[in-house]
A and B are shown apart, each in its own frame.
Chain A
Amino acid sequence: MSPAVDASREPLVRVEAIHTYYGKSHILHGVSLEVGHGEVVGLLGRNGVGKSTTLKAIAGLVPPRQGRVLLEGQPISHLPPHKLARLGIGYVPEDRRVFRLLTVMENLRTGLDRHGVTKARKQALLDKVFAYFPVLAERRSQAGGTLSGGEQQMLASARAMMLEPKIILLDEPTEGLMPRMVGQIRQIIEVLHSEQVAVLLVEQNVPLTLEAGQRIYFMEKGEVRHEAPAADLHVGDAVIHQYMGV
C-alpha cells in the first residue's frame, strides 16, 4: 500500500464528538474520527454499533444533534446532503441503491451532470470509469435493476466517482456478494486510492479491511473505542475478537 499519510496536514474529514438520535433512541454517543487526504480508513465493529449511522452523518443524511463534522477544516454538519455531494463527499450505501429504473448511463449521469464541468472533462471521466469497469460500458443501456450484485456495486462506486469526490464513504460493500467478489471490491478501493480519493470503509469483512486500509477504527455501542494502524493488526488478534465478537 502507499506510504503513510503526512500527519501534519489538516485532515480531510474530521468528526468531532457527534451525537445522533432516532426519535428518542440515542444512536451515536460522541463519535470522533479523522480521515486524511487520500487515506483509506477502515471502521470495524459488530452489527448495530452505529457504523452506518456515522457514514450517514458525514454524508448529511442524518444531521448530528451535537458535535461537528468538518470538511477541510470547514464545518458542514448543517448543510443538506446534495450540497455535501457537490463539495466532494461521495456515498455508496449498503445494498448499493442504484436507480433501478434508470439505465447504467443515466445512473452515471446523475453524478456527471453538474455545472461547471466541460464536456471534455465529462467524457474523460466516463472513459476513465469505463476503463476501470469495462462491464459497465457493455451494459450502459441496461436498466440498473437488471445488473448482478457485483455489477451494481461497480455501478454504485462508479456513480460516486462521477462526482469527482475527495472522499468516498463505502458502507459494507461486500455485503450480499459472493466471496469471490471480495477481490473486486479490493480492486475498486485500489482504483479509488490511486485517484487520490480518500476512503472511509465500513465493513464486517476483517481481512479485506486490514489489507485495504491504512488505519482502522473500532466502534462499540455508538462510540469509537480504539484506533490502530492496519500494519499493526492481524486477523486473529485479541483486539479483533473483542470488537468483532467472532
Chain B
Amino acid sequence: MDLGHLIQSIPFDQVLVQTVNGIVTGMILALVASGLTLIFGIMDVVNFAHGELFMLGAYVGVVTLAATGNFWLALVSATLVITLLGALIHVVVLRPLLGRDPLTTILATFGLSLVLQNYALWQFGPVARQIAEPFGGHFQLFYLDYPWYRLLIAGLSGAIIGGLWLFLKYGSYGIWIRATTQDRVMAQAMGIPVPLVLTSVFAIGAGMAAASGVLFGPLVGVNHAMGLDWVLKAFIVVVVGGMGSLGGSIAASIFISLLEAYAALVVSPAQAVIVSFVVLILTLLFRPTGLFVPTPK
C-alpha cells in the first residue's frame, strides 16, 4: 500500500494520542539528555555511564518504595543517593584524568558502565522490578483512558529542567559554573574552586539521570539493562541538539520522540528506533553542529 493510503488509513485521534505520548517521552528523554549535555558542555566529559546512573536511580527508587511505600520519598532518595554516587565517581575516577586525553574519560566511563551494570545484575537479578505509579486515575483522551501520571512526569521533567536553567542563570554557583565553562583557567585565577565545581556539575547531572529513572520507572520495568537504550538515545539527542546546548537538547528530545511516536503507528516499536538513527545521519550530513543551534559563522 502506498504512502498516501497509509497515512489516510491512520485514524486522526491515534495521531493525537501519539503526539501526547511523544511529548511525554520527549520530556523524560530531555531530562536525561540535559544531564548529559550539562556534563559534556561544561566538562568536556562524555559520560558513558550516564545510562547506568539512570538505572541505579530507578533501583534505589524500587528499594525505597518497597521500604516506605511512598513514591515521592523514593524519588527524593534516589536523586540524593545517586548525586552522591556521582560525586564519588568524579573524585575517584574522573579527577585523576583531568587534563589528560579526552579519550581516557570515554574509556573510563565505559568501564564504569560495565561495572555498574553488572553490579545491578548481581544485586537485583535479571528479573525486572516494578515501580508503582504514585496515583492512578485516567482522563479521557479520545478513545483512550490516558493516565494522569504521564502528564505529571512530563510536567515534573519540565520543572526540573527549568529549575536547572534558573540555577545556572542566577545565583553565585550558577556564575561559577558558567565561568568555569567559558574559561577554566581564568576561573581558577579568580578564586573559583574549579575541581569542586566540576565534581558538583557531574553530581547534578547524575542526580537528574536518577530522577528520570524513578519517574520513568512506572512506565517500563526496571532492570539492569534499561540504561543502554536511553543512553544511546540521549547521545543522539545531544549530538542532534548541539553538544553543550541545553535548549537544543530539549528541542531535539521532543522532536525525535514525536517522530518515533508517529513512526510507531506504522512500524513495530523495535523498528521505530531507526527514526532517531536516520535523524542523526541527516544531521551529520547537513548540520553537523546540531539541528537546533544556529550555525556558527
B and A form one assembly: yes
Contact A114 B191 (CB under 8 A): yes
| Cβ contact within 8 Å between A80 and B182 | no
User: Smallest CB–CB gap between A122 and chain B, Å?
Assistant: 11
Interface assignment of B220: CB less than 8 Å from any CB of chain A: no
Whole-angstrom distance between the Cβ of A95 and the nearest chain B Cβ: 11
Check if B190 sits within 8 Å of A111, measured CB to CB. Answer: yes
**Does the CB pair A61–B185 fall under 8 Å?**
yes
* A199 within 8 Å of B (CB atoms): no
Is A163 a contact of B175 with CB atoms below 8 Å?
A: no
Question: Residue-by-residue, is A147-189 near B (CB-CB < 8 Å gives 1, otherwise 0)?
Answer: 0000000000001100100000000000000000000000000
A25 to B186, CA, bound (A): 24
Nearest-Cβ distance from residue A52 to partner chain B, whole angstroms: 13
Given the complex, which residues of A lie within 8 Å of B265, measured CB to CB?
Answer: none
Provide the bound-state CA to CA distance between A228 and B224, in Å: 71
Complex CA gap A146/B179 in Å reads 16
B179 near A102: Cβ-Cβ < 8 Å: yes
Q: Is the CB of A97 within 8 A of B183?
A: yes
Question: Does more than half of chain B's interface fall in helix, strand or loop, or is it mixed?
Answer: helix
- Distance A110 CA – B192 CA, assembled complex (angstroms): 7
Pick from A81, A113, A160: contact of B188, CB below 8 A: A81
Answer whether residue A16 sits at the interface, using C-beta atoms and an 8 A cutoff. Answer: no
* A110-B179 contact given A85-B188, A91-B189, CB 8 Å threshold: yes
Interface membership of A82, Cβ < 8 A: yes
What residues of chain B lie closer than 8 Å to A100, measured between beta carbons? 182
B182 near A101 (CB under 8 angstroms)?
Answer: yes
Judged by a CB distance under 8 angstroms, whether B8 is at the interface is: no
A106 at the interface (CB under 8 A from B): yes
Q: Are B186 and A82 in contact (CB under 8 A)?
A: no
Query: Quick one: given A93-B186, A99-B179, A101-B182, are A86 and B191 in contact (CB under 8 Å)?
Result: yes
- Find out whether the CB atom of B190 lies under 8 angstroms from the CB atom of A159: yes
> How far is the CB of A167 from the nearest CB of chain B, in Å?
13
Query: CA separation between A70 and B119, bound complex, in Å?
Result: 49
Closest to B172 in A: A113
- The reply on A76 being an interface residue by CB < 8 A is no
Q: Which A96-151 residues have C-beta < 8 A from chain B?
A: 97, 99-102, 106, 109-111, 113-114
Q: With A102-B179, A113-B172 as given contacts, are A97 and B188 in contact (CB-CB < 8 Å)?
A: no
Q: Given A101-B182, A109-B175, verify A80-B188 contact (CB < 8 Å).
A: yes
B108 on the A face (CB < 8 A): no
- Cα A98 to Cα B93 in complex, Å, equals 32
In the complex with contacts A99-B182, A101-B182, A106-B175 CB distance below 8 A: yes
Check A110/B190 contact, CB under 8 A, given A100-B182, A102-B175, A102-B182.
yes
Residues from chain B with a CB closer than 8 A to the CB of A61 are 185, 188-189
B242 to chain A, nearest CB (A): 16
Tell me whether A59 is interfacial, beta carbon within 8 Å: yes
Query: Which partner residue on chain A sits nearest B170 by CB separation?
Result: A106
* Residue interface mask A68-93, B partner, CB < 8 A = 1: 00000000000011100110000101
Does B187 have its Cβ within 8 Å of any Cβ on chain A?
yes
- Residue B129 CB within 8 A of the other chain: no
Distance A178 CA – B186 CA, assembled complex (angstroms): 24
CA distance A197 to B179 in the complex (A): 25
B114 to chain A, nearest CB (A): 32
A82 engages B175 (CB within 8 Å): no
Given the complex, which residues of B lie within 8 Å of A85, measured CB to CB? 188-191
Known: A81-B189, A85-B188, A159-B190. 14 other contacts (CB 8 A): A59-B189, A60-B188, A61-B188, A81-B185, A93-B186, A93-B189, A97-B185, A99-B186, A100-B182, A101-B178, A102-B175, A102-B178, A110-B187, A111-B191
**Chain A contact residues, CB within 8 Å of chain B:** 59-61, 80-82, 85-86, 91, 93, 97, 99-102, 106, 109-111, 113-114, 159-160, 163
- What are the nearest 6 A-B pairs in CB distance? A85-B191, A81-B188, A113-B172, A91-B189, A110-B190, A82-B188
13 pairs from A and B in contact (CB 8 Å cutoff): A80-B188, A82-B193, A85-B188, A85-B191, A91-B189, A99-B178, A102-B175, A110-B179, A111-B190, A113-B172, A113-B176, A160-B190, A163-B191
